[in-house]
Each structure stands twice: as C-alpha cells, then as structure tokens.
C-alpha cells in the first residue's frame, strides 16, 4: 500500500510539474492545491461550474409534481438536503438542528427530507435519527434520478447544505436555480 501511494504521489507531482495550468472549480479548491500540493497560485485557474437554469426552473404540472411526491415519498411541507449521506456533509448536525426546530408547535408540519445515496460511514446518521425519535419526521429518499432533482428542489420550502468540506457545492447552486431559499455553511 505504501508503494502504491508513493507511486500515485509521484504521478500527481509529475503531472503538476508538466502542466501549464491547473483548473480548479473554486477558490477553496485552489487554496487546497496551494497548501497541500504546494502548487504556485499563478499556475491555478478557477473555472466555476454552472447549472442549466432553464432545467431547474421548468414549470411542472400539478400531476407531475404529485407523481414526484409519490415516487420519493415526499411530504407537503419539507426542508430538503440533497447530496451524498456521509460525515463531511454534516448531516448529523442537521438532524440535531431539525429536532430542535421541530419542537416548535408552528413548525411541526415540516419534515426533513434527506435526498441522496448513502456514502461512507452513513450509519451514524440513521442512528441519530432513531436516537432523537425522528423516524416519522425524517424521510430518506435514497438515490435521486438526475431528471427528478428540479421538481424535488422546487417543492421544498427550504434547502439546507451544512457541509463541513466542499470543493464547490453544486446542490446549493441547483437549489438557487430552482428558486428555493438556501441555508448553507460558509465552506
């Protein structure tokens, strides 16, 4: 394993040395490249990704929206997280915050929808949901088809993305394109 890691590191360094420029998706990624790999800042170009706004602003019929609710077991009122379920996404903390908010009588009609596939070390997320007694109030959709994302975003009352580490954070941009209010971390 050490030989393999050393070889990979050598390959990366070789590619860095030969490259005229390196494209990063964000200032955050650029900072990681300069601090972790000692790449000179002037060698890194930022090219932020974008989304097809028309796709995320598509006007769905009532029947289409109802079909999406049925397919993913979506409630009428929900706070949405969309992304892989893994520790760096800070979902346990999101579940804890939801538990606190959900204690307010005027907010009990809201559910938390965790939309996305299971990543690494996801068990603690489900353990926290159970520990807090939120099994009926937190809906886990599993993998979401790319074609269905816009309708799921559009029906959400709020999109939350409390990630602890991101290179860019495409779901934030997608939610904004869909016209959903967004609460996110500063990373």
How does residue 133 score in pLDDT terms, banded at 50, 70 and 90?
Answer: very high
Asked whether the predicted pLDDT for residue 2 surpasses 80, the reply is: no
Percent of the chain with pLDDT over 90: 70
Residue 70: what pLDDT?
Answer: 96
Residue 161: what pLDDT?
Answer: 95
pLDDT digits (tens, 9 = 90+) for 61-85: 999 999 999 999 999 999 999 999 9
Instruction: State how beta strands 158-161 and 22-24 pair.
Output: unpaired
Three-state secondary structure call for residue 100? helix
User: At 141, phi and psi to the nearest 5?
Assistant: -85, -20
User: At 182, phi and psi to the nearest 5?
Assistant: -125, 135
Q: How far is CA 140 from CA 106, 112, 170, in A?
A: 23, 9, 20
Residue 169: what pLDDT?
Answer: 86
Token pair listed for 42: 């002037």
Asked whether the predicted pLDDT for residue 138 surpasses 70, the reply is: yes
Residue 1: what pLDDT?
Answer: 67
Residue 112: what pLDDT?
Answer: 98
Q: pTM for this structure? A: 0.86
Asked whether the predicted pLDDT for residue 88 surpasses 90, the reply is: no
DSSP per residue, 95-156: HHHHHHHHTSGGGTT-EEEEES-B-TT-HHHHHHHHHTT-TTTEEEEES--GGGHHHHHHH-
For residues 139-167, give the mean pLDDT. Answer: 94
Residue 37: what pLDDT?
Answer: 86
């Amino acid at each position: 394993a050490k030989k393999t890691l050393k070889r990979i590191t050598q390959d990366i360094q070789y590619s860095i040395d030969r490259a005229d420029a390196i494209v990063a998706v964000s200032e955050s990624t650029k900072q990681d490249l300069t601090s972790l790999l000692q790449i000179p800042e002037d060698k890194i170009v930022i090219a932020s990704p974008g989304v097809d706004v028309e796709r995320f602003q598509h006007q769905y019929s009532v029947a289409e929206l109802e079909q999406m609710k049925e397919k993913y077991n979506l409630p009428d009122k929900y706070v949405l997280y969309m992304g892989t379920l893994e520790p760096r996404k800070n979902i346990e903390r999101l579940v804890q915050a939801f538990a606190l908010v959900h204690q307010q009588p005027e907010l009990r009609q809201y559910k938390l929808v965790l939309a996305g596939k299971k990543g690494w070390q996801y068990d603690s997320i489900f353990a926290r949901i159970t520990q807090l007694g939120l099994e009926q109030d937190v809906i886990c959709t599993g993998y979401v088809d790319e074609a269905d994302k816009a309708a799921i975003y559009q029906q959400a009352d709020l999109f939350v993305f409390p990630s602890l580490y991101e290179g860019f954070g495409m779901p934030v941009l997608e939610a904004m394109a869909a016209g959903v209010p967004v609460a996110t971390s500063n990373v």
